[in-house]
Structure formats: C-alpha cells, structure tokens
C-alpha cells in the first residue's frame, strides 16, 4: 500500500467522523457509537479483503490518554465559576463520589458472587465499569440547557478524576489497611500541589510566550506533567480541570499582585484560540481512538450468554443506584441526568491498567464492550426523552 492510499483512507475516516458528529446533533445518537460500529465494519472489511493488521494495545492507550486530556480540557474551558455556581459544583461532586463508590462496591459483589474471588480483585475490575466517561458525556450534552450541561460536565469530569484515584487506591498491596488511607491522603495532597504549581507554570508560559506556535507547546507541557504524575500513580486530571477553569475564569483567580505578572486581557484573547485548537484536536484523537477500539474488538465475545447476563445485571444495578441517588438523596432532575452516565474512554483505559495479578480470566472485554454500548444506548434514550414537552416527561 503506497503512502497516498493511506492518506486517502485516513482523510476519509476524518470526513466520515465529521459526518457522524453532524448526524449526532440531528438524531441525538452518540457519535461514539457510530465510530465503534464503523471500526467493527472496517475489521470485517479488512478480513474480507485479506488485510491483516495487529493493533498494539499501547497505541490505543496513547490515543486514549491524549483524548481524555483534550476532552476534559475542552469541557472545562466552557465552564464559568461564580458564587452562584458553587451549589452545582458541590452537587455534581457529591453525585460523582457517592454514585461511583456505591456502583463500584455493588458491581464488585456481583463479580464476587459469580466468581468466588477476593473482594479486592473484584473491586479493581468493577471500578472501570462504575466511572462515567466524560469523553462521551461532554460532547453529547451540547444542546441541553446550561444548568443541565454544567452538571453533567462537572459530574463526568469529577467521576473520571475520582475513578482514577479510587482505582489507584484499590490496587495497593496494603489495601483496606490503615496505612493505605494515609497513602491515599498523601497522594491527594501531592496531586493538589502538582496541580497548583502546574497551573501557575502553564498560565505563565501561555501569557509570556510570543511565538505564534505556542499552543501545542502548552498542550505538550500539559501532557508531560500529566504523564509524569501518572507514573507516580497520581490522578492528574485534576490539573487539567483546574487549568481549563482558571483560563476561562481569570477574573476569579488572577487578582491583586498576580495581575503584575499575568495580563488577563491577553489571556482572554489566547483562550479563544486555545478553545478552537483543543476542540479540533479532541475531535481528531477521539475519532481514531474509538475507530481503533471498534476495529480491535472481537464481536463474537458478545455471543457469550453468561457475559450477557452479567453485563445486564451490571447495567441494571448502575441505573437503580443512579435513580435512587438523584430521586431520594440529591432530589434533582431525572431527565436526562438519570440516563447520561455512559462508559467509554476512561473505562477502557482503567481496564487496560489492571495489574496482571488482579485480572479475572472469564471477565472478558465482552462485558466491557457490552456495558459501553448499552449505556450509550440508554443515554440516547434519555436525550431523546428530554426533547419531549415537560408534561409528557412527568407523565412518563
């Protein structure tokens, strides 16, 4: 295959993905589901034409990590922080934390009942399925009202951050011991320090650099800090969220003496360009990640009856826990919040990060794929219902 054929093929994939985005806005069908279906279709087309391509998992992980950073940054750059916003931030954080913990523990018991394994091993495998994917949730709620959109962006981002932290806590050798609590708190303190220092450095550079190609330099520094933090088992998505929030709310964070070093007017001009570049980059990376994941998945795994039963039980449990929390604890709206809890990019990344000693042989990628697809379809239903008149929704 010559290079021009490869370029034609890649260009067509980007054009198709752009068409999926346009179609998603019209039909409310998440573009991620279309990309996964396209990836599966490409897999069968490759087999039919005798084209063999073995996809190294590390490539998928690299695309996933960069995509996660860009999508969280894209979402945080749209959020405004004011005193009036504090209740929705607090509400979304509590929702993310409590629903994540309850869901992870419940799924762990389901896995343990089916496999008779140590609880820690089951919990490690359950956490990826309990985390809400901001990579799918954020792009899917662009047409909702401002309050609903902000709640879902905050909740899904907090869920990603907390999910990584809880996952790192669960894989410790001293799990459920007193020392593990101190280790967790120490890691939390470290990531807060890294986030503060990282944000100061990034904002200083974005304000001082006059070269016309500085934005990808800033993104490269963000990815560098994120990757180094991950090596030390920290949860650096907090840095990404904080960086985006500070850039989009400079009047709140840049005050008094800081204004002597940072020009808020200049930052506001730069942020508009950064938003465009981030959105374009996130679109491109998300396209190839989900296409590659669909291409690498073996569809025959979905024919396992036991897998379908466990997957359905997990979905039912997740939905009931979310309904109970939103209806009786948070007392917040159910439409479409109840249904917008998709699993996706972060779920896949955490699943691939499970240490070999915690892997469960018969807990295959089939469960993972089934949960991702079904939660995506449930989100589609919720977004469609939310378009109906309020009286019809309440009656439903």
What pLDDT sits at residue 231? 83
The answer to whether residues 163 and 347 touch, using CB atoms and an 8 Å cutoff, is: no
What pLDDT sits at residue 261? 65
Q: Sign (positive/negative) of CA torsion 290, 292, 293, 295?
A: positive
DSSP element (H, E) containing 46: helix 31-48
Whether the pLDDT of residue 69 is over 70: the answer is yes
Q: Specify the number of domains making up the chain.
A: 1
The model carries a pTM of 0.84
Over range 264-292, report the average pLDDT.
Answer: 83
Whether the pLDDT of residue 396 is over 50: the answer is no
The answer to whether residues 301 and 365 touch, using CB atoms and an 8 Å cutoff, is: yes
What pLDDT sits at residue 64? 84
Rounded to whole angstroms, how far apart are CA atoms 226 and 194? 10
What pLDDT sits at residue 176? 66
If you ran DSSP here, which 8-state letter would residue 328 be given? I
In degrees to the nearest 10, what's the CA dihedral of 41, 42, 48, 53?
Answer: -140
Q: What contacts 46, CB < 8 A, 6 or more positions away? A: 52, 53, 295
119-124 contact pairs (CB < 8 A, 24+): 120/170, 120/175, 120/176, 120/358, 121/358, 121/360, 122/360, 123/170, 124/167, 124/170, 124/171, 124/354, 124/355, 124/358
User: CA nearest 70: which of 280, 234, 301, 256?
Assistant: 280
User: CA nearest 162: which of 174, 170, 150?
Assistant: 170
Token readout for 291 is 């296409």
What pLDDT sits at residue 192? 82
Whether the pLDDT of residue 82 is over 70: the answer is yes
Higher pLDDT, 253 or 105: 105
pLDDT band at 245 (very low <50, low <70, confident <90, very high): confident
pLDDT band at 302 (very low <50, low <70, confident <90, very high): confident
What pLDDT sits at residue 99? 94
Beta carbons within 10 angstroms of residue 248's beta carbon: 20
Rounded to whole angstroms, how far apart are CA atoms 261 and 257? 8
279-285 contact pairs (CB < 8 A, 24+): 279/74, 281/70, 281/219, 282/67, 282/70, 282/71, 282/73, 282/74, 283/17, 283/18, 283/21, 284/14, 285/63, 285/66, 285/67, 285/70
Rounded to whole angstroms, how far apart are CA atoms 95 and 35? 29
The CATH number of whichever domain residue 46 belongs to comes to 1.20.1530.20
What pLDDT sits at residue 259? 63
Whether the pLDDT of residue 258 is over 70: the answer is no
Over range 267-276, report the average pLDDT.
Answer: 79
Whether the pLDDT of residue 219 is over 60: the answer is yes
Average pLDDT over the chain, rounded to an integer: 83
The answer to whether residues 128 and 167 touch, using CB atoms and an 8 Å cutoff, is: yes
Whether the pLDDT of residue 393 is over 70: the answer is no
Token readout for 143 is 């047409």
User: Highest mean pLDDT: which of 85-89, 297-301, 383-387?
Assistant: 85-89
pLDDT band at 188 (very low <50, low <70, confident <90, very high): confident
Token readout for 221 is 């520094």
Peptide bond into 336 cis (omega under 30): yes
Show the CA angle centred on residue 72, arms to residues 315 and 367, nearest 5°. 25
CB burial of residue 2 (10 Å; 0-12, 13-18, 19+): exposed
Rounded to whole angstroms, how far apart are CA atoms 138 and 36? 18
Helix axes 146-170, 86-115, angle to 10 degrees: 40
Show the CA angle centred on residue 16, arms to residues 10 and 17, nearest 5°. 90
Write the pLDDT tens digit of every residue in 124-146: 999 999 999 887 888 778 777 88
The answer to whether residues 55 and 292 touch, using CB atoms and an 8 Å cutoff, is: yes
Whether the pLDDT of residue 390 is over 60: the answer is no
Residue 12 is part of which domain span?
Answer: 3-395
């Amino acid at each position: 295959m010559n290079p021009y054929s490869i370029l034609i093929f890649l260009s067509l994939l980007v054009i198709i993905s752009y068409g999926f985005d346009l179609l998603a806005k019209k039909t409310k069908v998440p573009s991620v589901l279309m990309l996964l279906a396209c990836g599966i279709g490409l897999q069968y087309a490759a087999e039919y034409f005798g084209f063999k391509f073995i996809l190294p998992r590390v490539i998928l992980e690299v695309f996933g990590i960069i995509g996660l950073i860009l999508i969280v940054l894209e979402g945080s750059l749209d959020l405004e922080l004011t005193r009036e916003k504090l209740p929705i931030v607090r509400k979304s954080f509590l929702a993310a934390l409590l629903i994540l913990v309850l869901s992870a523990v419940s799924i762990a018991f389901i896995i343990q009942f089916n496999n008779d394994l140590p609880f820690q091993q089951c919990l490690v495998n359950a956490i990826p399925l309990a985390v809400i994917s901001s990579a799918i949730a954020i792009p899917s709620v662009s047409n909702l009202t401002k309050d609903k959109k902000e709640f879902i962006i905050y909740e899904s981002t907090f869920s990603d951050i907390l999910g990584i932290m809880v996952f790192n806590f669960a894989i410790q050798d001293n799990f459920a011991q007193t020392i593990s609590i101190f280790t967790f708190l120490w890691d939390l303190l470290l990531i807060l320090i890294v986030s503060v220092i990282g944000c100061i450095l990034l904002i200083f550079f974005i304000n001082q650099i006059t070269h016309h190609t500085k934005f990808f330099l800033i993104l490269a520094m963000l990815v560098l800090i994120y990757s180094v933090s991950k090596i030390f088992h920290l949860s650096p998505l907090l840095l990404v969220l904080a960086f985006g929030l500070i850039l989009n709310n400079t009047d709140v964070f840049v005050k008094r003496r800081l204004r002597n070093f940072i020009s808020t007017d200049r930052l506001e001009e730069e942020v508009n360009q950064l938003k465009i570049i981030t959105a374009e980059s996130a679109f491109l990376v998300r396209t190839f990640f989900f296409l590659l994941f669909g291409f690498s998945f073996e569809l025959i795994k979905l024919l396992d009856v036991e897998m379908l039963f466990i997957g359905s039980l997990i979905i039912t449990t997740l939905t009931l826990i979310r309904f109970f929390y939103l209806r009786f604890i948070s007392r917040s709206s159910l439409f479409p919040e109840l249904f917008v809890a998709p699993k996706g990019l972060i779920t896949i990344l955490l699943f691939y990060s499970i240490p070999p000693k915690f892997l469960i042989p018969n807990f295959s990628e089939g469960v993972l794929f089934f949960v991702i697809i079904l939660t995506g379809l449930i989100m589609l239903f919720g977004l469609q219902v939310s378009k109906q008149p309020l009286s019809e929704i309440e009656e439903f």
